[in-house]
Structure 1
Amino acid sequence: MMNEPKVKVSFKLILPLLAAIIAVSPLAIDMYLPGMPELANYFSTKMPLVQNSLSIYLLGYAVGLLVFGPMADKYSRRTMIMMGLSGFLLTTLGLTLVENIEQFIALRFCQAFISSAATVVVPGIIRQLYGKNTAKGLSYVSMIMMLAPMIAPSIGSLLLLHSWQMIFYVLASYAFIVFICSATFLPDVTMPKPKKTYRVIERYKIVFSNRAARFDLLSVMMVSLAFFAYITAIPFVYLMVFKVSEFEFSLLFGMNVFALMIAHFINTRFVVNVGSRKMLYFGLSLAIVMSTSLLLANIFALPLLYHVIVILPLMGSLSMISVNADALILQEFADHAGTVTAVNGTLRFGIGALAGPILAVFYDGSALPFALLMAVSIYLVMACQLIRNKLNIAKEAV
């Protein structure tokens, strides 16, 4: 393993900046959601086409990760961030000038694709700066970054009072501010020149052939399936099944985001002394209990309060599993952090995209399919970790 580069940096400054960089995509996704009906009217098109712009954004982001991930292991990470932010800025401004839904969707793909160049390098920077305490750094950044999805829909609703274009003007302004801050304060944490030069295919082969990280990657995929099941189903569960008001839904959704932040904060307090693997097990144990409780709550048709009490710690446990699995994966690939981040992100979005179709197939007008998918996803994480431990024990015995 190569020696870690010595980078003098103020963590109080760099972590919020890295969180601001990662928050670009959540803001681009969540801020325009309230404006979808207005976009449909403006372009004189049907709502499903406008909704498809979100799927196209996720596709563009996943493709961008595959392209820019290996580049992040070869070129300056600061340069990658500058390129990604400037590209996001230009495409976001371009969205305000489109004349039809086809142009809008095409630019959304480009916006997501180029923005991934900035975000794909952030986990690698954190790994370099934090070393064996990577999980702590990831938790801090995630905790700060989660403010974005918490407030983005509300900001978007306010901006709609002017026009839907104002949403993208504000997004562009945000990207410009982050670009200036990155150019001013972000250190150049370029990876040391490796002893061997790898081709892109070789980098991906190294990641997929690593048995130690394989089951952690699978665990991250299953957690992502559970998380996207929540994102997809929770509006229906709260608004349609339990008939809460839109204001009550906003409060409940915000509470769950807050639970994610609390989980990350707890992780930062204990992970240095306990280790990422034990914190992952703690999160998994909590997730098993809570996902099973959620399933039972639906089987026995328990009231809303019980669901709220169970979902809060369940969402926190998902974030704890995810951030510690990410840290363990990154530690396995000191020379290929960008590539493994690309693989990780693509697998997340790929499996997450299946949540909607799965829920649609098993739709029965209740919240049971949602609870069942959450529980099955967590049980599969448990299976992955049990198999990993069994293989490790067998390896040590040999």
Structure 2
Amino acid sequence: MTTSAPTQESAPPRPPAPPARRAAALLVLVLGALTATGPLATDLYLPAFPQIAADLGAPQAQIQLTLTAIMLGLALGQLLIGPLSDALGRRGPLLAGLAVFTLTSFLCALVDSAPLLIGLRFVQGVAGAAGAVIARAVVRDLFEGDDAARFFSRLMLVTGLAPLLGPVLGAQLLRLGPWQLSFVVLGAAALASLVVVVFGLPESLPRERRAELNLARLGATAGRLVRDAAFAGPALTLGLSFGMMFTYISSFSFVSQSEFGASGQQFALIFAVNTLGLMAGTQVNALLIGRVETSRRLAAGLAGALVSVAVLGALAVGGPAGAGALVALTAVFFVMMFSVGFVFPNATTLAISSQPASVAGTASALMGSLQFALGGGVSSLAGLTATGEPSLASMAVVMGGVGVAAALAFAVTARWSRRAAAKVR
């Protein structure tokens, strides 16, 4: 049997060159705005939870389901939009998702019942998934290795502004008008993002690099990804860590105000300080790129998160009270968020970089879907108390269990990956 040299037609298409520094800075801002859509949608109305419950005549646990609904929508949406972006390109699915997200945001301001709000939030989540999944896929289209890790860290600096400003802005909006104003502002922000994409985000996946939209092949690709420890390990670690963080995000609004007597403004301030911890962690992580390998940075983040959650459990058992309790809790959550700032970009880099660009959308979708499904599902466990409302103790139990699971997932799958790599050699 004879072989011939590969022709130009059979050679795999070359990926586009990474953008220049100025273009990369603009790309960070554009993708950051897209990735921030989900966090802003989840965080902007958090200070208004008690007011929404009173206005719609619903228990607080039911209002918390509006948060779970958007998280599950974000999970399902990524499974749909990721593969579509691999087959159709990045811009089309992104523009459609942003348009639907904008419409549902305005409709949320018109609801008169909690079930209707829950349903709209689910649709909003499905549409909002386009921003997160396609932003990660675009990064994979243009960057690899440490360049990708560095870009993800910069992206999280911009993205971190959404959870930082969300509750603060939401608290101020409550001073200006009713809780519906938060959804009007969210719709306006989504509309602005839509305009930015139209004029500022070119297509990053040319036709020759797109995958055929084939359900059988898609299922085979998804099955391969799930069985690949190099992808599944970091993806599961990311999802579980997000569940730990989202338990804090979804529950602490109730806990701080009902258990510790904080006002909506105080909760917003505490939330902002802790989000600064997340942003600081991502930037310290970026400084360590090239000096400390990715897996070690991820391990350090997991260790820091476990220590902080252990201290949280001790505080819950000790029964802190008064203003000093809020200060202590802020310090604990700051350390946890700083540590998560190491986990997110490094787990994302390890998972996405382990796969070729032709399946980046599908890989990003699976990872994001797992992240939001665990975030929405795990966080709801904190409300399984005798009163039906989360407490500091229930938060500590859920966050501790999920944090340990994340560390185990990373350690076990990393060992499997090393064994597989040794067999190949």
* Residues 1:326 and 2:337 aligned together: no
Q: Which of 249, 258, 273 is matched with 2:276 structurally?
A: 258
Q: Taking structure 1 as reference, are residues 130 and 95 closer, same or farther at Cα in structure 2, changes over 3 Å only?
A: same
Q: Taking structure 1 as reference, are residues 2 and 206 closer, same or farther at Cα in structure 2, changes over 3 Å only?
A: farther
* Residues 1:350 and 2:365 aligned together: no
Counterparts in 2 of 1:172-183, with a 5 A limit?
A: 172-183=187-198
The aligned counterpart of 2:3 is: none
The aligned counterpart of 1:308 is: 330
Q: Taking structure 1 as reference, are residues 396 and 166 closer, same or farther at Cα in structure 2, changes over 3 Å only?
A: closer
* Residues 1:223 and 2:241 aligned together: yes
The aligned counterpart of 1:186 is: 201
Q: Taking structure 1 as reference, are residues 393 and 164 closer, same or farther at Cα in structure 2, changes over 3 Å only?
A: closer
Q: Taking structure 1 as reference, are residues 90 and 306 closer, same or farther at Cα in structure 2, changes over 3 Å only?
A: closer
1:317 Cα deviation from its structure 2 partner: 0.7
RMSD: 3.0
Q: Which moved more, 1:304-313 or 1:212-221?
A: 304-313
The aligned counterpart of 1:385 is: 410
Q: Which moved more, 1:10-19 or 1:290-299?
A: 290-299
Supply the distance in 2 between the matched residues of 1:357 and 1:273 (Cα, whole angstroms). Answer: 39
Q: Which amino acid letter does the alignment assign opposite residue 124 of structure 2?
A: Q
Q: Which of 124, 133, 138 is matched with 1:120 structurally?
A: 133
The aligned counterpart of 1:142 is: 156
Supply the distance in 2 between the matched residues of 1:37 and 1:296 (Cα, whole angstroms). Answer: 28
The aligned counterpart of 2:304 is: 286
Q: Deviations over 1:217-258 (max 9, x none)?
A: 221232122112222343355444444454433322211111
Q: Taking structure 1 as reference, are residues 224 and 2 closer, same or farther at Cα in structure 2, changes over 3 Å only?
A: farther
1:64 Cα deviation from its structure 2 partner: 1.2
1:20 Cα deviation from its structure 2 partner: 0.8
Asked if 1 retains the 8 angstrom alpha-carbon contact of 2:46 and 2:253, the reply is: no
1:330 Cα deviation from its structure 2 partner: 0.3
Supply the distance in 2 between the matched residues of 1:50 and 1:241 (Cα, whole angstroms). Answer: 18
Percent identity, aligned pairs only? 26
Supply the distance in 1 between the matched residues of 2:328 and 2:50 (Cα, whole angstroms). Answer: 33
Supply the distance in 1 between the matched residues of 2:307 and 2:73 (Cα, whole angstroms). Answer: 36
1:259 Cα deviation from its structure 2 partner: 0.2
Supply the distance in 1 between the matched residues of 2:397 and 2:50 (Cα, whole angstroms). Answer: 31
Q: Which moved more, 1:226-235 or 1:180-189?
A: 226-235
* Residues 1:372 and 2:397 aligned together: yes
Counterparts in 2 of 1:1-398, with a 5 A limit?
A: 3-6=14-17, 8=19, 10-36=23-49, 39=52, 49-98=62-111, 101-132=114-145, 133-160=147-174, 161-191=176-206, 193-194=208-209, 197=212, 199-300=217-318, 304=325, 305-334=327-356, 335-361=358-384, 367-395=392-420, 398=423
Q: Give the secondary-structure state (helix, strand or coil) at the position aligned to 1:4.
A: coil
Q: Give the secondary-structure state (helix, strand or coil) at the position aligned to 1:336.
A: helix
Q: Taking structure 1 as reference, are residues 97 and 375 closer, same or farther at Cα in structure 2, changes over 3 Å only?
A: closer
Q: Which amino acid letter does the alignment assign opposite residue 138 of structure 1?
A: F
Return 5+ residue gaps in structure 2 as ranges.
Answer: 1-11
The two structures have a TM-score, normalised by structure 2, of 0.82
1:214 Cα deviation from its structure 2 partner: 2.1
Return 5+ residue gaps in structure 1 as ranges.
Answer: none
Supply the distance in 1 between the matched residues of 2:255 and 2:26 (Cα, whole angstroms). Answer: 39
Q: Which amino acid letter does the alignment assign opposite residue 293 of structure 2?
A: G
Q: Deviations over 1:177-207 (max 9, x none)?
A: 2222221121210156359745321231221
The two structures have a TM-score, normalised by structure 1, of 0.87
Supply the distance in 2 between the matched residues of 1:326 and 1:72 (Cα, whole angstroms). Answer: 18
1:70 Cα deviation from its structure 2 partner: 0.8
